[in-house]
Structure 1
Amino acid sequence: MGNHQHAVSHINIAEAHSLTDLEVCERWHKVYKGTLLTQMFIKGGSLDEAQWLAVKEKVDL
């Protein structure tokens, strides 16, 4: 099992809950590509209500 590694992280719950939706997306995109909608959101693109709800669903996980 030498082909992978595990990382143990501490999550500061109070800090995590204080992040804005934009901050959450920006941090997520440092590690993952994200979705087309979260990419649009970060770039300040115009989102309709359904698109915004889809972004919000990802952010609130």
Structure 2
Amino acid sequence: MDKQLSFVNLLSDTITTTHSLYLATLLKGVACDMLLALVLTLPAAASQADAPDCPRQR
């Protein structure tokens, strides 16, 4: 899983890294996004539970 990746940045420096670094960063980003989405949706769900039902419009 630790395959070496090499690339050249804008300053013409050769950078070598591994897949595992990118995978860890991706997983951390996904976990943070899921937590943020949960935090943002819980107050909205709680306020809708207390709201009275709206009658149908004809």
TM-score (norm 1): 0.23
Q: Larger C-alpha radius of gyration, 1 or 2?
A: 2
Relative contact order higher in (CA < 8 Å, ≥ 6 apart): 1
Report which of the two has the higher share of strand: 2
TM-score by length of 2: 0.24
